[in-house]
Amino acid sequence: GAGVSQTPSNKVTEKGKYVELRCDPISGHTALYWYRQSLGQGPEFLIYFQGTGAADDSGLPNDRFFAVRPEGSVSTLKIQRTERGDSAVYLCASTMGAGAGANVLTFGAGSRLTVL
C-alpha cells in the first residue's frame, strides 16, 4: 500500500482479555518494527522483523506479548491476558531493510489500546 496501515485504530478491552493488532507495511518494505508509546514518552522498541523472521525481539516486555509475520508482509502483534499497564499506542513502522532507505522509519497511525 501507499503507507503503513494499522488496525484497529482504537481498541478497548477488559483486563485479562486477548488482543490482536495488525500492521500492513509499505509494499516492498522488508523490515518491520513494532513500538509502544505511552503518554509523554518516546516510542519504545518491541520487536523487529526482517522478512518473516523476528530478527530482534529483545523489547517484548514479557511472554504475554508475541508477534508474527508469516508471509513477510502483514504482521500481527498478539497480547495475552492483557493488563492495565499494557494501555498505550502501539506503533508499527517499516523500512526498505537495505540500501539508501534502510534507516528511514515510516510509521503507521498506530493502534490505541485501552485496558479497563
Partner 1 sequence: RKEVEQDPGPFNVPEGATVAFNCTYSNSASQSFFWYRQDCRKEPKLLMSVYSSGNEDGRFTAQLNRASQYISLLIRDSKLSDSATYLCVVNPRYNFNKFYFGSGTKLNVKP
The site for partner 1 (CB under 8 A) is made up of: 31, 33, 35, 40-45, 48, 50, 55-56, 91, 102-110
Residue among 64, 35, 65 at smallest CA distance from 48:
35
Residue 39 C-alpha cell reads as 503518554
Nearest distance, CB of residue 89 and partner 1, angstroms:
8
Give the Cα separation of 35 and 91 in Å (integer).
5
Nearest distance, CB of residue 67 and partner 1, angstroms:
15
Q: Which is nearer to partner 1, 56 or 81 (CB)?
A: 56
Place of cell 534507516: 103
Nearest distance, CB of residue 48 and partner 1, angstroms:
6
SS3 28: coil
Q: Which is nearer to partner 1, 8 or 16 (CB)?
A: 8
